[in-house]
Amino acid sequence: MSDSGLPEQMPNVDRRALARLITAIEAGDPSEEAAAALAKDASPVRRVGITGPPGAGKSTLVNAMVTELRSRGDTVAVLAVDPSSPITGGALLGDRIRMQDHIDDPGVYVRSMASRGHLGGLSPAAGPTIAVLARSGFDIVLVETVGVGQSEVEVMDHVDLVVLVVGPGWGDQIQADKAGIVEIADVFVVNKGDRPGVDIVQRALLDRQGGVETPVLVTTAISGEGVPALVDVIR
């Protein structure tokens, strides 16, 4: 470990080659041979999906999680999926803006990807891209979905752990939900913990489980409060 607490050995991956490969995947070329050549390890690392409704603060929470993971010496790859405009087909890809703190960190790789109208909360290229990132030498891969509704659960097919992030005021909806993202969650996070209504949502999530012991955590992503406990769970 270096004096800064960060690992001296960073992922041995050519960033430009990785970017070109993901671009090729988005263009419809799986490039399996190239992916195999790029891979550092045949065994994929831990993949964590971060999903939830629009406005829950997923991007800010992912940024805080990266900060906490780096403080513990973990290297991190982030795939952030943004919604595409139904008019222009373009996407803002604003997650990179929220993760500017890590732009010069060689232990962090962030890739934004447009959903291109794909249903399920991800992108058509997300699956193979996650597979490539998981074999590129990073310790943890975080996958942030677009803001999802009840039936967009595709992320569960590509990760080891699903974190459902909700905000204050979601309690009534939880009570009505009978399937979908509430059922696929391995960890519940009530974000924006400094706002009114958090305790109601937390209690609703606990009641919704029906005896299943799924962690229900409270975070305030902007300040970082509760984020170490979340990282303890995903690690």
Of 27, 16, 15, which is closest to residue 75 (Cα–Cα)?
A: 15
Which tokens belong to 99? 């993760």
CA angle 120, 124, 126 (to 5 degrees): 85
The larger pLDDT score, comparing residue 92 to residue 11, is at: 11
Q: Quickly state the pLDDT bin for 173 (edges 50, 70, 90).
A: low
- Give the residue from 183, 181, 233, 191 showing the smallest Cα distance to 209: 183
pLDDT of residue 10: 56
Between CA 107 and CA 234, with CA 10 as vertex, the angle to 5 degrees is: 55
Say how far apart CA 96 and CA 56 lie, in whole Å: 17
3-state secondary structure of 46: strand
Q: What is the share, in percent, of the chain residues with pLDDT greater than 70?
A: 71
Residue type at position 137: G
Token reading at 233: 């769970």
**Is residue 153 helix, strand or coil?**
coil
For residue 233, pLDDT beyond 90: yes
Enter the CATH code of domain 15-234: 3.40.50.300
Domain ranges of the chain: 15-234
Average pLDDT over residues 19-46: 69
Is 127 or 39 the better-scoring residue by pLDDT?
A: 127
Q: Is the pLDDT of residue 230 over 70?
A: yes
Separation CA 47–CA 53 (nearest Å): 20
Each residue of 89-146: pLDDT tens digit?
A: 444 555 556 677 788 898 999 998 877 665 656 777 888 899 889 988 899 999 998 8
Give me the residues paired with residue 189 across strands: 165, 217
Q: What's the burial of 228, exposed, middle or buried (CB within 10 Å: 0-12/13-18/19+)? A: middle
pLDDT of residue 176: 47
As beta bridge partners, residue 112 has 80
